[in-house]
């Protein structure tokens, strides 16, 4: 293992300490490992929190700030945070208008958030939760844990955070998050595995001429291993199942999001974006907004994911609204 | 003569020791079909549990297991934290404030723990999870605990191991391994493996009691 770390067990704590110093104007880090918007709680504003394992930076801690999340709960690397963290975050951001939990669809995340929500409600805090499950690589059936929450989570956090900032109430914010979930689809692929610091070796072995299609964001193998192909073919292999699933149709306006998994340069992400734009042009789908970069990663994994969100005027306006976080910032 | 809190404490220490010994193995199993953290997370949780044991040894078994459950929920994370945490919480609640715990009480308590796991995780038999190791183990204990506790504990540990091995060829239908679809077949389940370690620890430490 070759990593820029001290002790594997200290990686998360030390990274959070670094974040706190780097972005002291936007966030504060509190025990037990929660990232909180600096001016939280804001009276009368719905609190929006999320959380998940570490190793996906900048998600979620990098999205804490005005116009996005009020708090984030980072767990150990690739491990759901514990209920104590979500409870503490909920308490820290509750301004009397309730708190929305944005939860990615993983068995552990759901259980830990549910336990925390139960504890928070017992204290009289109004808590609602929306589960993001946008990964079309997973068959949504009785025989799986359901679709994973991946790239759509980033878009949901931005849009929902903007609505909460404008003063929308808890029911409205929840309904908006469900609307994003209903209109967003993603799929990812990997060129390499990644190494969990405490495990010390790559999660899976993969040949120089192979790739994994349909991966999640935890270094887990995908649904299928294929021979490496040119970027255009890979882009087709990801975009087609996404487009056919919703389905996205001619005349639709979308937000096109090409995300790097952590170890792929922007140069390559733009090669993918170029082909994605061609595919959407060919189907008569208009790209109204775009996002390209590393926003929901899997440590140092090389690869990418594509996320498409069908936009309407409301979602477009909220996407454009000002945001001021360590990782997303515009209009401020 | 019943089973003492000291006996249960010894079993938990043995479980913690063996989770530490199996840390790499559990993580390797989880790398194949999950996210490579089961051994790391369970070891972190049982290390936290171990710190509580000296102060709990002299109290009631119910209180001991409730504290174990709370500690696992607060330290493990992932799905294993709530699942093992609920298991021990329900076991502790079932034992209640009893000072004298009988083999039948242990069987009833472990059944309550297993029911808690099934309620939370919604896994059925053959979904390829820890439930496939725990269910036959609890059944073996229920069948024989009152007649011969040591023999029933040995049968329970064997049944857990057999359950763990039986599901290896299956396709996972719950948890993170289910994302792999057919590719999960042929891999040993990490949760069923740690559950077997638990029943082996119970066999080795409680078999002398009761």
In chain A, the number of structural domains is 2
Sequence-ordered alpha helix ranges (H) in A101-216: 107-122, 152-165, 170-183
pLDDT of residue A52: 96
pLDDT in tens, B52-94: 999 999 999 999 999 999 999 999 999 999 999 999 999 999 9
Q: Average of pLDDT values for B6-35?
A: 95
The distance of A207 to chain B (nearest Cα, Å) reads 16
Chain A: closest CA distance from residue B62 (Å): 21
* Distance (Å) from the alpha carbon of B153 to chain A's nearest alpha carbon: 30
Domain boundary among A130, A157, A183: A183
Report the pLDDT value the prediction gives residue B209, as an integer from 0 to 100: 65
Asked whether the ipTM of the predicted complex exceeds the cut of 0.95, the reply is: no
Q: Do B76 and A78 touch (CB under 8 A)?
A: no
A330 falls within a domain: no
In a shared domain, residues A23 and A133: yes
Could you tell me the strand order of the sheet in which A224-227 lies?
Answer: A224-227, A210-213, A184-190, A303-310, A253-260, A286-293
Q: How far is B166 from chain A (nearest CA, A)?
A: 19
Q: Does B35 touch chain A (CB under 8 A)?
A: yes
A324 belongs to a structural domain: no
Interchain CB distance below 8 Å, A148 and B120: no
What residues in chain A have their Cβ under 8 A from chain B's Cβ atoms?
Answer: 53, 75-84, 106-108, 111-112, 115, 137-139, 142-145, 148, 196, 198-199, 203-204, 216, 218-221, 223
Confidence of residue B175 (pLDDT cuts 50, 70, 90): confident
Note whether A196 and A314 are same-domain residues.
Answer: yes
pLDDT in tens, B62-71: 999 999 999 9
Decide the pairing of beta strands A71-77 and A47-54. parallel
Is residue A168 located within the same domain as residue A235?
Answer: no
Co-location of A47 and A98 in the same domain: yes
A219 has pLDDT over 90: no
Report pTM: 0.91
Residue written as token pair 């969990």: A196
Q: Which of A23, A56, A60, A101 is catalytic?
A: A56
Encode pLDDT of A19-64 as tens digits.
Answer: 999 999 999 999 999 999 999 999 999 999 999 999 999 999 999 9
Separation between Cα atoms, residue A239 and residue A45, nearest integer Å? 37
Q: How many helices and strands (H and E) does chain A possess?
A: 8, 14
List B residues 176-205 in contact with A (Cβ-Cβ < 8 A): 176, 178-181, 183
Task: Tell whether the torsion through CA atoms of A56, A58, A62 and A66 is positive or negative.
Answer: negative
Question: For A257, what's the count of Cα atoms within 13 Å in the CB-facing half-sphere?
Answer: 26
What integer is the mean pLDDT of A62-80? 97
Average pLDDT over residues A119-123: 92
User: CB distance A199–B31 less than 8 Å?
Assistant: yes
Reading the block at residue A259, the tokens are: 């995300």
Residues A30 and A167 occupy one common structural domain? yes
Q: Using the beta-carbon criterion (under 8 Å), do A198 and B37 form an inter-chain contact? A: yes
Contact A41, A93 (CB under 8 A): yes
- Return the CATH superfamily for domain B5-206: DhaL domain (1.25.40.340)
Q: State which of A183, A215, A246 marks the end of a domain.
A: A183
Q: Which of A76, A108, A144 sits opposite B179 (nearest CB)?
A: A144
**Are A131 and A20 found together in one domain?**
yes
User: In B, which residues are within 8 Å of A80 by CB distance?
Assistant: 77-79, 81
Cα→Cα distances B184→A68, B81, B112, B171, Å:
37, 22, 29, 5
Whether A23 is a known active-site residue: answer no
* High-pLDDT (> 70) share of chain B, %: 99
Say if residue A194 is in the same domain as residue A179: no
Task: List CB contacts of B201: < 8 A, sequence separation 6 or more.
Answer: B11, B12, B14, B15, B18
Identify the pLDDT of residue A218: 84
Contacts of A13 in chain B (CB under 8 A): none
| Gap from B174 CA to chain A (nearest CA, Å) | 5
Q: Which residue is it, tokens 């808590």?
A: A127
A198 to chain B: which residues are within 8 Å by CB? 37, 40
Average pLDDT over residues A110-138: 94
Q: How large a percentage of chain A has pLDDT more than 90?
A: 91
Are the C-beta atoms of A237 and A222 separated by less than 8 Å? no
- Residue-wise pLDDT for A238-262, tens only, equals 999 999 999 999 999 999 999 999 9
Give B188 to chain A, closest Cα distance, Å.
15
Torsion of Cα atoms, A311 then A313 then A315 then A321, to 10°: 130
Q: Are residues A27 and A172 in the same domain?
A: yes
Task: Answer yes or no: do A33 and A77 share one domain.
Answer: yes
Inter-chain touch B82–A148, beta carbons under 8 Å: no
- State the CATH number of the domain containing residue A299: 3.30.1180.20
Q: Pick from A255, A330, A243, A328: which is nearest to A294 by CA?
A: A328
Question: What's the burial of A240, exposed, middle or buried (CB within 10 Å: 0-12/13-18/19+)?
Answer: middle
Residue A328 lies in a domain: no
Secondary structure element (H or E) that encloses residue A238, with its range: helix A231-245
A104 pairs with which residues across the strands?
A: A132
Q: Residue B33's pLDDT band (boundaries 50, 70, 90)?
A: confident
Reply yes or no on whether the pLDDT at B177 is more than 90: no
Task: Identify the residue with better confidence: A110 or B207.
Answer: A110
Contacts of A76 in chain B (CB under 8 A): 37, 40-41, 44, 77
Amino acid B182: pLDDT: 86
Instruction: Give the confidence band of B178 by pLDDT, cuts at 50, 70, 90.
Output: confident
The chain-wide mean pLDDT, for chain A, equals 95
**Number of Cβ atoms within 10 Å of the Cβ of B169:** 10
Residue A156: inside a domain, yes or no?
Answer: yes
Interface contact B170, partner A, CB < 8 A: no
The string of pLDDT tens digits covering residues A201-215 is 998 889 999 999 999
The pLDDT value recorded for residue A147 is 92
pLDDT range class, residue A141, cuts 50, 70, 90 = low
Average pLDDT over residues A111-131: 95
Q: Is B121 on the interface with A (CB under 8 A)?
A: yes
Tally C-beta pairs within 8 A across A and B: 114
DSSP B167: T
Q: Could you tell me if residue A327 is inside a domain?
A: no
Partner residue facing A111 (CB), from B79, B171, B173: B79
Which among A144, A186, A204 is the top mutation candidate for probing chain B, defined by the most B β-carbons within 10 Å of its own β-carbon?
A144
- Backbone torsions φ then ψ of B29, nearest 5 degrees: -60, -40
Query: Exposed, middle or buried: residue B43 (CB in 10 Å: 0-12, 13-18, 19+)?
Result: buried
Of B36, B79, B171, the CB nearest to A108: B79
Judge: B81–A80 Cβ closer than 8 Å, yes or no: yes
A70: domain CATH number? 3.40.50.10440
Shared domain check, A116 and A20:
yes
pLDDT computed for residue B196 by the predictor: 98
For the question of residue A60 being annotated catalytic, the response is no
Q: Answer yes or no: do B77 and A112 touch at CB < 8 A.
A: yes
pLDDT of residue A142: 61
Domain match, A176 and A204 both: no
Category of A65 on φ-ψ map: left (φ > 0), alpha (ψ -120 to 50) or beta:
left
Any A CB within 8 A of B48 CB: no
Nearest chain B Cα distance for residue A216, angstroms? 9
Contact between A76 and B34 using a beta-carbon 8 Å cutoff: no
- The range of the structural domain enclosing residue A272 comes to 184-318
Residues A151 and A87 in one domain: yes
In a domain, A323, yes or no: no
B116 touches chain A (CB under 8 A): no
Is a pLDDT exceeding 60 seen at residue A190?
yes
Contact A75 B34 (CB under 8 A): no
């Amino acid at each position: 293992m070759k990593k820029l770390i001290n002790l594997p067990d200290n990686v998360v704590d030390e990274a959070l300490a670094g974040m706190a110093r780097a972005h002291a104007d936007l966030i504060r880090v509190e025990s037990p490992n929660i990232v909180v918007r600096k001016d939280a709680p804001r009276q009368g504003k719905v609190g929006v929190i999320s959380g998940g394992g570490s190793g996906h930076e900048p998600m979620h801690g990098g999205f804490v700030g005005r116009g996005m999340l009020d708090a984030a709960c980072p767990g150990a690397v690739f491990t759901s945070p514990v209920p104590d963290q979500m409870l503490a975050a909920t308490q820290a951001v509750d301004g009397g208008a309730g708190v929305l939990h944005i939860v990615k669809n993983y068995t552990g995340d759901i259980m830990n958030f549910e336990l925390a929500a139960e504890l928070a409600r017992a204290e009289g805090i109004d808590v609602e939760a929306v589960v993001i499950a946008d990964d079309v690589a997973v068959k949504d059936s009785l025989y799986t844990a359901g679709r994973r929450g991946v790239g759509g989570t980033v878009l949901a956090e931005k849009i929902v955070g903007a609505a909460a900032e404008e003063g929308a109430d808890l029911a409205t914010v929840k309904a908006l998050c469900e609307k994003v979930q209903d209109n967003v689809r993603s799929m990812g692929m990997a060129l390499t595995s990644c190494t969990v610091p405490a495990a010390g070796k790559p999660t899976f072995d993969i040949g120089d001429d192979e790739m994994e299609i349909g991966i999640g964001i935890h270094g887990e193998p995908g649904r299928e291993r294929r021979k490496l192909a040119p970027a255009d073919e890979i882009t087709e292999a990801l975009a087609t199942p996404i487009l056919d699933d919703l389905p996205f149709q001619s005349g639709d306006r979308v937000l096109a999001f090409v995300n790097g998994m952590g170890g792929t340069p922007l140069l390559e992400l733009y090669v993918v974006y170029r082909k994605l734009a061609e595919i959407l042009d060919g189907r008569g789908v208009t790209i109204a907004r775009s996002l390209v970069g590393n926003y929901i990663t899997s440590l140092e994994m090389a690869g990418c994911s594509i996320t498409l969100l069908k936009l309407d005027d409301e979602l477009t306006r909220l996407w454009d609204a000002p945001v001021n976080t360590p990782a997303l910032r515009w209009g401020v | 003569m019943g089973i003492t809190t000291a006996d249960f404490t010894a079993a938990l220490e043995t479980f913690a020791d063996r989770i530490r010994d199996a840390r790499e193995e559990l993580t390797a199993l989880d790398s194949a079909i999950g996210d490579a953290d089961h051994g790391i997370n369970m070891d972190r949780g049982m290390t936290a549990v171990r710190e509580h044991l000296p102060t709990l040894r002299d109290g009631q078994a119910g209180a001991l297991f409730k504290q174990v459950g709370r500690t696992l929920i607060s330290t493990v994370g992932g799905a294993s934290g709530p699942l093992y945490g609920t298991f021990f919480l329900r076991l502790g609640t079932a034992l209640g404030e009893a000072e004298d715990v009988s083999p039948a009480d242990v069987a009833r308590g472990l059944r309550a723990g297993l029911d808690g796991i099934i309620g939370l995780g919604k896994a059925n038999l053959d979904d390829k999870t820890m439930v496939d190791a725990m269910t036959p183990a609890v059944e073996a204990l229920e069948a024989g605990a009152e007649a011969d506790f040591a023999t029933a504990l040995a049968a329970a540990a064997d049944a857990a191991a057999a359950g763990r091995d039986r599901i290896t060829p299956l396709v996972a239908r719950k948890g993170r391994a289910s994302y792999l679809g057919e590719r999960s077949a042929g891999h040993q389940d990490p949760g069923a493996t740690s559950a077997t370690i638990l029943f082996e620890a119970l066999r080795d430490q409680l078999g002398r009691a009761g």
